[in-house]
Structure 1
Amino acid sequence: MERVARLTSQKAVVIFSKSSCYMCHAIKRLFYEQGVSPAVYELDELDPTLRREMEWALLRLGCSPSSVPAVFIGGRFVGSANSVMSLHLNGSLKRMLMEAGAMWL
């Protein structure tokens, strides 16, 4: 739990992902296209022990490891792909990214 909290506080946008997940790829691309450079942690590329620890911590934060990507903005868990896309479509994502210092106008 402490490791996830530390990682999510070190960068404005943090994404826990799986390299083979097409929705993870789409969300990462959305951020890159906004000019945001997120910290990305590919869960399936981690050491098995570390992977289990990270998945357990994500589960405790309310994110099922099977529903990656798990996106954090400004250290706060905002959700998975559906949540991020909803925020993007209603215009809230850009504001959140600016408030977190991840992007500027």
Structure 2
Amino acid sequence: METVVKLASKKAVVIFSKSTCCMCHAIKRLFYEQGVSPMVYEVDELKDGKEIERALMRLGCNPSVPAVFVGGRLVGSSNDILTLHLDGTLKTMLKDAGALWL
């Protein structure tokens, strides 16, 4: 769990993903298209990826990926991010975290 918290605080937006997950790809693309450059950790390519996945599940991520952190705080997975995007809340969160300036 400590590893996840440490990694999640490295940048304004951090995404834990799997390279083969279509929803992970869609969420990463959503951020890129808004001009946000997130730190992405592909858990299936990390040596301690299984441990990170278990920690994400303990934090409440089910499924474990994609897991999005904004400003060091867990925002949620794909459903949560898409909901926040559609209602305009995500843009405000990104501005407050310093990930978006427009």
After superposition, the C-alpha distances for 1:68-102 in whole angstroms (9 at most, x for unaligned) are 10001011111111100000000000000000000
Distance 2:49 2:64 in 1: 15
What displacement does 1:46 show?
1.3
Pairwise CA distance, 1:67: 4.3
Match of residue 54 from structure 2:
56
Residue 100 of structure 2: which of 96, 99, 103 is its match?
A: 103
Identical counterparts, % of pairs: 70
**Paired letter, 2:67:** A
SS of the aligned residue for 1:40 comes to: strand
SS at match of 2:37: coil
Q: How does 1:23-102 map to 2 (within 5 A)?
A: 23-47=23-47, 50-64=48-62, 66-102=63-99
**TM-score, length-normalised on structure 1?**
0.92
State the 1:58 CA deviation: 0.7
Distance 2:53 2:16 in 1: 9
Distance 2:46 2:59 in 1: 19
Find the residue that maps to 1:103 and give its secondary structure. Answer: coil
Find the residue that maps to 2:49 and give its secondary structure.
helix
1:16 counterpart = 2:13: no
- Which amino acid is the alignment partner of residue 28 of structure 1? K
Alpha-carbon displacement from aligned partner over 1:34-67 (angstroms, at most 9, x marks no partner): 11000000011112xx112211211121113x34
Q: Distance in 1 between matches of 2:50 and 2:32?
A: 28
Runs of 4+ in 1 over 4 A off after TM superposition: none
Once residues 99 and 90 of structure 2 are traced to their aligned partners in structure 1, the CA distance between those partners, rounded to angstroms, is 11
- Structure 2 residue identity aligned to 1:11: K
Unaligned 5+ residue runs, structure 1?
none
